[in-house]
Amino acid sequence: MNHLVIAPILLPLIAGIVLLLLRHLDINPRRGFSLAMVVGQIVLAAGLLRAVGGGDILVYALGDWPAPYGIVLVADRLSAWMLLITAVLALFALLYASRGIDVGTSADAGDSPGKRAGDGHFHVLFQLQLMGLNGAFLTGDLFNLFVFFEVLLLASYGLVLHGGGRLKTRAGLHYVVLNLAGSSLFLIAVGTLYGLFGTLNMADLAVRMAAVSPENLGPARAAGLLLFGVFALKAALLPLYLWLPAAYAQTSAPVAALFAIMTKVGAYSILRVSTLIFGAEAGGVSALIEPWLLPLALLTLMIGLLGALAARFLREQAAYLVIASVGSLLTAFALASPAGIAAGLYYLPHSVFIGAALFLLADRIAVSRNLAGDAIGDHIGDHFQPAPTMAGAALLGGLFFVSAILAAGLPPLSGFVGKFLLLRAALEHPDAAWIIGLVLLGGLLGMIALARSGSLLFFRSLPPPRVVPVATGAVVAWPALLPIFGLLALCIGLTLAAGPIHAYVSATAEQLLQPYHYVHAVLGGRP
């Protein structure tokens, strides 16, 4: 067995335990250790990506118990791709948090700005969140997918509330309640499948599902649709998206940035089960999800962009743009073709990185506008209202301009490449007119929403009665902006390396649509 497969789970788990033991130390050594562990996870993910890049599927059987009797972890092209995206995102989110947010402050409306909320266990929760994410991408059975979902959700509950504040608590309560309901439905779905087939190993389920008896076909379809509902909740698919805007907009910026990958866990799960368990060879349950997925994905895209148009402040707009990105991503997956899935897998890291960059940039803009507003006793933050000219407006405005181009999918950057690949793949679909029309309309709405935001934030300014000389240095300090530059550079890198990346994701799509290789790797020679 290749122990590299389990390393992305063990490293953040060990890091979280060590950080818990070192909780009485000064924050700086803990920051350094946490950052080093995230860099280690990038190295591990890159190594795993190289190991499976040729098409190999690595299986790790815990306790050397063979599947389907034991717990297995499976690394293929898709899981390695998701691991690398998560680790790189985590590095920039943690770098931003290490500017002081990790010790917990709150400046919600109604709270005292700068109120210290205690050190908490930010870095412990951060590492456990990464453990849950990595485990969800690597697990080879549905029950352990549930377990890793719970690990990442439990950590996310603490991260959402980190720093305290009335608005965070209210949004966090909705987030917790809805996800607990989703977890309950997940248990019902996996219990039904276990009762029908006596296994929860995904490769074994794929084999048994293809031979489901007629009397079990109805319960099997019901359990599959229930699973889809749970994953749709995690992905914030219409109509199960209502928990996301408030939770993402009210939590701290680095947490929201990390959460840009959270909805993609639901999208990953939908893609995995739809190609492996409910794929073309699944008999009576084949293509179970596709009729539901495409219309819901297109509606999610529209709802997300309408929400971005109606947003009251930049963090809320960024949250709705995350919802819109889920719609675009799942539209690509719903095409169920190699070209469509490849387009979605190329678009996925773009949507994660630009979503995270917007949350971090919104925080810097809010800080700068609040400092400018000190002159008139106003703390307007990132709300779409005229305010005194902020310090560093030219630099922040330039970053916003590049971010808006990326988020709206304008040429020539990665957002445009992802949308182009999606539209090209949609040409062969029976509903091509609807798909192309709504995706293009979504691009127009996104451009209008972001143009409105930029105009209100950077052009409709009030002259301050006096200059605040300390503001410039406080706002445009390079260490605070480096994570934003890094995330935008990753999006530009996706554009420059579009050829090799598209070749990789195309091979990934082909591998997903040939589930025999996955089943054979996990079950070996057993029928």
H or E stretch covering 504 = helix 498-512
Angle at 262 between CA 256 and CA 265, to 5 degrees: 170
- Section 377-387 average pLDDT: 72
CA distance 419 to 417: 6
- Section 174-187 average pLDDT: 87
Model pLDDT, residue 473: 42
Model pLDDT, residue 378: 55
Which of 20-29, 158-167, 221-230, 352-361 shows the highest mean pLDDT? 352-361
| Inter-residue contact 278 to 286 (CB < 8 Å) | yes
Give the torsion sign (CA, 295, 259, 505, 139): negative
Query: In this prediction, what percent of the chain has a pLDDT beyond 70?
Result: 91
pLDDT band, residue 285 (cuts 50/70/90): confident
Q: Which two tokens mark 269?
A: 């799960």
Give the torsion sign (CA, 381, 384, 386, 390): positive
- Residue 164, by phi and psi: left (phi above 0), alpha (psi -120 to 50) or beta? left
Residues 6+ apart with CB under 8 A from 222: 192
Model pLDDT, residue 373: 56
Place of tokens 């033991």: 21
Cα distance from N-terminal residue to C-terminal residue, the chain? 21
- Section 11-22 average pLDDT: 92
Evaluate if residue 468 carries a pLDDT over 50: no
Q: Looking at 198-212, 414-428, 465-479, which range is the least confident one?
A: 465-479
pLDDT band, residue 58 (cuts 50/70/90): very high
Average pLDDT score over the chain? 86
Residues 6+ apart with CB under 8 A from 461: 386, 387, 388, 389, 390, 393
Q: Which two tokens mark 469?
A: 């000389």
Model pLDDT, residue 464: 55
pLDDT band, residue 288 (cuts 50/70/90): confident
Residue spans of the domains in the chain: they are 289-496
Q: What is the crossing angle of helices 393-408 and 432-458, to 10°?
A: 170
- Section 25-47 average pLDDT: 92
Model pLDDT, residue 111: 37
Evaluate if residue 476 carries a pLDDT over 70: no
Total residue length of the chain: 527
Q: What is the DSSP letter of 72?
A: E
DSSP 95-136: HHHTTTGGG-EE--TTS-TTEE---TTHHHHHHHHHHHHHHH
pLDDT band, residue 12 (cuts 50/70/90): very high
- Residue 316 CB neighbour total at 10 angstroms: 22
- Section 367-385 average pLDDT: 69
Model pLDDT, residue 485: 94
- Section 462-489 average pLDDT: 67
Query: In this prediction, what percent of the chain has a pLDDT beyond 90?
Result: 50
Looking at the DSSP assignment, which residues form a beta bridge with residue 116? 105
Evaluate if residue 527 carries a pLDDT over 50: no
Q: Between β-strands 387-388 and 461-462, what pairing exists: parallel, antiparallel or unpaired? A: parallel
R_g of the chain, CA atoms, integer Å: 23
Q: Looking at 105-109, 295-299, 429-433, which range is the least confident one?
A: 105-109
306-327 pLDDT per residue, tens:
999 999 989 999 999 999 999 9
- Section 124-148 average pLDDT: 93
The CA–CA distances, whole Å, from 423 to 344, 345, 513 equal 11, 14, 20
Model pLDDT, residue 388: 74
Evaluate if residue 162 carries a pLDDT over 80: no
72-118 pLDDT per residue, tens:
999 999 999 999 999 999 999 999 998 878 776 543 333 333 333 34
228-270 pLDDT per residue, tens:
999 999 998 988 888 888 888 888 889 999 999 998 999 999 9
Is pTM beyond 0.95? Reply is no
- Section 18-32 average pLDDT: 88
pLDDT band, residue 67 (cuts 50/70/90): confident
Evaluate if residue 350 carries a pLDDT over 90: yes
Residues 6+ apart with CB under 8 A from 463: 388, 389
Closest-CA residue to 399 (of 310, 463, 491): 491
Evaluate if residue 403 carries a pLDDT over 60: yes
| Inter-residue contact 188 to 130 (CB < 8 Å) | no
